[in-house]
Amino acid sequence: MSQHVKHLLTSKRVLLLQGPMGDYFSKLAVWLKKNGIECFKLNFNAGDHYFYKKVNNVFDYKGKITDFSEWLDIFLIEKQIDTIICFGDCRAYHRLAKELAVLNNINFFAFEEGYIRPNYITFEQEGVNFFSHFLLHLKNRKDLDAIDLKEIYDVQNSPAKLKKSVAIYYLMWVLFAWEYPYYQHHRGIKPLKELGCWILSELRHLKNKFIEIRHFENFLSNNSKNYFVFALQVHNDFQIRVHSDLQAMEKYIELVLDNFSQYANISTHLVIKHHPMDRGYRNYKKLIYKKAKELKVESRVHYYCDIHLPTLLKHSLGLVTVNSTTGIQALFHKIPVKVLGRAIYNLPRLTNQYDLEKFWIQPGDVDYEYFKFFRTELIQYSQLNGSFYGLSPWMNEYQKVDSLDASVELLKS
């Protein structure tokens, strides 16, 4: 499990910034306090406040983002904070906090969705995704044998709890937006529109359940091992905005379609898979089929959203992605992967290192022994057995041990 938790447990006074929508950071605070760590929480909107309001040391930041660094610098000194924890290290407030942490020798930790799914979440010091120090860790590993991992537990992730948490979060943000007049959300849209997008997402999900599955089954019966997958990502995810060159899913869609039409075998197909978390925000159907028609490949291009991802991957010839963790899932199923952006798993022994035009013809093979080593190291370095909307078995595994208690135990032994 993530090696960074042991360092976290040396903290004395922790500041929690924004967490996942819901009560996860409230539970994290309880765990920290049980381990003798004083915990402070900073809320930025009424959604944050709603899920973290029944504990001590809670503060609200209601100023402008341009004043945040100066305000936070004073706060860190006054409260003698030695550790900062957030969810997602690219949000504007979190980037500013990280800069101060570096300047003041304060520990900075970030949670993120699991690189390995299901049953894992990500927890790292100093940065996640391509800001992670994992590749340096991997480079320093001399023994390439995969070690045995500890047994993990089913975290019973609840999509219903996620949806409920999101609905409440945005509703509270909308109703009490006047209390936090200068708050800037990392997605860059207004709270009422955000809430509307989630409602639209649920309506589209219901529609897809009745239509897409049947269409995909028909497609699969005729095209197993005769198609490539292009996995789309959330349009305003920092993986696209920060960790890729084109910084827009529309541009990547056009790039992939152009390349596929020119270089792929005329008998192969392309399945473009929409990200379910982006379902209510974007619909690329018109863009995809208009472009495919212009390129004269409309009969070979297919667009889905809510089909079963493992089935889609296992029957494919290969996966194209910007830098989605879907790439790791594909490698797990021994499916070749071509990365277009920057990803921690884009390594010579794992992913295809040729240009995209060659990938369609020679996707290559996955070095599965090396993948097992890579996956094990990634879990040991950055993954925790837990869920933001389910159980957190990792909290029962780690506990702070005082040096005096450790000495007593040594004497007993």
Ordered alpha helix ranges (H), 242-284: 249-263
- Burial letters 85-106, b for 16+ CB under 10 A, else e: bbbbbbbebbebbbebbeeeeb
Q: How far apart are CA 18 and CA 12, in angstroms?
A: 20
Domains of the chain plus CATH, in order, are 4-177+376-402 (3.40.50), 224-366 (3.40.50)
Q: Which residues contact 256 (CB under 8 A, 6 or more apart)?
A: 230, 270, 272, 320, 340, 356
Comparing C-alpha atoms, which of 275, 238, 245, 243 is closest to residue 86? 238
- Amino acid identity for residue 10 in this structure: T
Give me 245's structure tokens. Answer: 């060159």
Given a contact cutoff of 8 angstroms between Cβ atoms, the answer to whether 280 and 198 are in contact is yes
The Cα 8–Cα 37 span in angstroms is 10
Residue 2's identity, in one-letter code, is S
If one counts every other C-beta atom within 10 angstroms of the C-beta of residue 148, the result is: 6
How much is the pTM? 0.90
CA quadruple 248, 251, 253, 254: dihedral, nearest 10 = 170
CB 391 within 8 A of CB 156: yes
For residue 405, what pLDDT is reported? 47
Q: Residue 112 corresponds to which amino acid? A: E
Nearest alpha-carbon partner for 49 in 59, 38, 57: 59
131-144 burial string, b = 16+ CB within 10 Å, else e?
bbebeeebeeeeee
- Of 327, 260, 334, 272, the residue nearest 297 (C-alpha): 260
Please count the other Cβ atoms lying within 10 Å of the Cβ belonging to residue 410: 8
pLDDT at 413: 33
pLDDT, residue 412, reads 41
For 339, the 3-state DSSP assignment is strand
Task: Profile the chain (413 residues) by mean pLDDT over runs of 10 residues.
Answer: 88 97 96 96 96 85 97 98 96 97 97 95 94 90 74 94 92 93 86 83 89 92 97 92 93 98 97 94 95 97 95 98 97 98 95 97 95 94 96 87 40 36
What is the identity of the amino acid at 154?
D
The set of long-range contacts for 178-185, using a CB threshold of 8 Å and a minimum separation of 24, is 179/46, 179/60, 179/62, 180/44, 180/45, 180/46, 180/60, 180/62, 181/62, 182/62, 182/63, 182/64, 182/65, 183/44, 183/45, 183/62, 184/65, 184/92, 185/45
Residue 210, judged by CB atoms within 10 A of its CB (0-12, 13-18, 19+), counts as: exposed
Which pLDDT value is given to residue 1?
60
Report the alpha-carbon distance of residue 113 to residue 383 in Å, rounded: 10
Ordered DSSP codes for 128-143 = SGGG-SHHHHHHT---
Say what the pLDDT of residue 404 is.
Answer: 36
Distance, in Å, from the CA atom of 19 to the CA atom of 325, rounded to the nearest integer, reads 20
Q: Are 216 and 313 in contact (CB under 8 A)?
A: no
Tokens matching residue 331 = 């490698």
CB 240 within 8 A of CB 249: yes
The pLDDT, as a whole number, for residue 3 is 85
Cα end-to-end distance, the chain, whole Å = 26
Query: Distance (Å, rounded) from C-alpha 400 to C-alpha 398?
Result: 7
